[in-house]
Structure 1
Amino acid sequence: MSATKSAINEEGISEPFAATEAPLELFSHGERFGSSFRHLSNFAGGTHVGVALEELAPGKETNPSHYHMLEEEHAFILEGSLTLKLGQRRHVMKAGDYVCFPAGQKVGHSLYNHTDAPCRYLIIGERNPSDVIVYPESGRVSVRLTGEGYRKATTMDYWEGIDAGPPS
C-alpha cells in the first residue's frame, strides 16, 4: 500500500487512485460479525456519498439487520457470492448482482457469506448528518441529529440483544 494519506493533492484536488491505496480497516464482533473494508470516498475527500470496497469472509455477517429512515444504501457484488437477509426473506447474490435499500424501507437488511470463499462488493450510501436507524433483531433505535448521536435517559448498547455467536 502507498504511504499516501489521501487522494487529495497539494493543491487540494482529489485525484484518481488505486483502491488498494485506501487504508484497509478490519471489523469484528464475536463469532458472527466481521468484515474488512476500504473507505474509498473518505480517501478521496468525499463528504456527501459514502463508497466502501468491502470483503466478507466465509461464515461472517456484516452487521446486525437494520434499516435507515433517512439514508439510502446500495450494494453491488463484484466477486463471489453471499446471502442478503432482507427481513424474513433470503436472497443469494453473486458477482454482477445489485440491490438498493431505499430510505424508509421498513425491512431490516444484512449480508451473510454462506460460502467457503470471500465475497467482495461495493457499498454506496448517503452521508446524511441526521438519520434514524432501526435494528429489528434487538429493538434498538439509533437517532443521529446533525451528525451527533442522540441520548436519552434510557439507552441501549449497540450490541444489546444481538447474538454474536456462530451465524445461523
Structure 2
Amino acid sequence: MAQRHHPQGIGGLATILSHPPGGDAPKRARSCPLFSARPQCLPMPTDSKPLAVVAADAPARTKPSNYPEPFAARVAGRVKRPLGDLFALKHFGVNHTTLPPKSVSALRHAHSRQDEFVYILAGHPTLYTDEGATPLSPGMCAGFPAGSGNGHKLVNETDEPVLYLEVGDRSEGDEVSYPEDDLRAVQVDGRWAFTHKDGRPY
C-alpha cells in the first residue's frame, strides 16, 4: 500500500556501503538507481543489521496497532515501517508512515515524557491539536514536546496517500493521555498497558 518515495542522492544514485573482512573502514561497494521498481542492490547486513536501506522498502510493522478495540479499528489502513529498530537504535525511534486516503495517524494524544516530531514527505495531511486544524504539505514539520498536554494527530482528508517520518525518543516511564477518548496508556517494562480513564482495564 505504501507509495514509494526515494530521496535523491547525487546523480540519482544511492551508494551502498559494506564492511570488508577484518572490520576495517567501510568501502564503496556499488551504486544502484533509486528509481527502479524494486532496487536489488540493498546493503549487506553486518551483525544482523544493515548499514543503509530504502525507507519505503523496509518491513512494515507486523502488528498494525497497539490500541485495544474499538480504537484499533480507527487507525485501520495506516502502515508504519520502523526504521530505528532496523539499526538497533536505543534512544529514539523513527517510523516511515503511510496514511491512505481518509485515514488517521493515531488517536489525538499527548506524551508525558517522550518528545515527538513529524516531517511530511508527500501528501497534504491536516494536523489537529488544541489550536484546531493546521494544513500541512511536503517539506513541513511539527514537533510535540513531552509534558505539554496538547494532544495531536494527523488526518488524511484527501484522495492521495500521505507519507511522513515520525521520530520519538524512548524515555522510560511514559504515559499517554487521550483528550477525546476514554483511554489512558502507561508504559510498563517497555510495553504499553491501556486502561479506561478511571483505571479499569480493556
- 3-state secondary structure, aligned to 1:81: coil
- 3-state secondary structure, aligned to 1:61: coil
Q: With CA pairs under 8 Å and 6+ residues apart, which has the higher RCO, 1 or 2?
A: 1
State yes or no: 1:33 paired with 2:33: no
State yes or no: 1:140 paired with 2:177: no
Per-residue CA deviation, residues 120-164 of structure 1 (Å, 9 max, x unaligned), is: 00000011221011011124222224525568994243xxxxxxx
Partner of 2:46: 9
Partners of 2:194 and 2:201 within 8 A in 1: no
CA distance, structure 2, for counterparts of residue 126 and residue 79 of structure 1:
23
Per-residue CA deviation, residues 78-100 of structure 1 (Å, 9 max, x unaligned), is: 11110111125000100000000
Partner of 2:115: 72
Structure number with the higher strand fraction is: 1
CA distance, structure 1, for counterparts of residue 199 and residue 150 of structure 2:
25
Partner of 1:106: 149
Aligned AA (1:33):
V
State yes or no: 1:91 paired with 2:162: no
> Percent of pairs identical after alignment?
28
Structure 1 residue ranges (4+ consecutive) displaced by more than 6 angstroms after TM superposition: none
Taking structure 1 as reference, are residues 96 and 65 closer, same or farther at Cα in structure 2, changes over 3 Å only? same
What is the TM-score with the length of structure 1 in the denominator?
Answer: 0.78
State yes or no: 1:60 paired with 2:103: yes
What is the TM-score with the length of structure 2 in the denominator?
Answer: 0.66
State yes or no: 1:45 paired with 2:88: yes
Unaligned runs of 5+ in 1: 158-168
State yes or no: 1:81 paired with 2:124: yes
Bigger mean CA offset, 12-21 vs 104-113: 12-21
Taking structure 1 as reference, are residues 111 and 156 closer, same or farther at Cα in structure 2, changes over 3 Å only? farther
Partners of 1:84 and 1:91 within 8 A in 2: yes
RMSD: 2.8
Partner of 2:5: none
Taking structure 1 as reference, are residues 39 and 13 closer, same or farther at Cα in structure 2, changes over 3 Å only? closer
Unaligned runs of 5+ in 2: 1-37, 66-71
Bigger mean CA offset, 88-97 vs 138-147: 138-147
Partners of 1:7 and 1:43 within 8 A in 2: no
Taking structure 1 as reference, are residues 42 and 154 closer, same or farther at Cα in structure 2, changes over 3 Å only? same
- 3-state secondary structure, aligned to 2:90: coil
- 3-state secondary structure, aligned to 1:25: coil
Partner of 2:200: 155
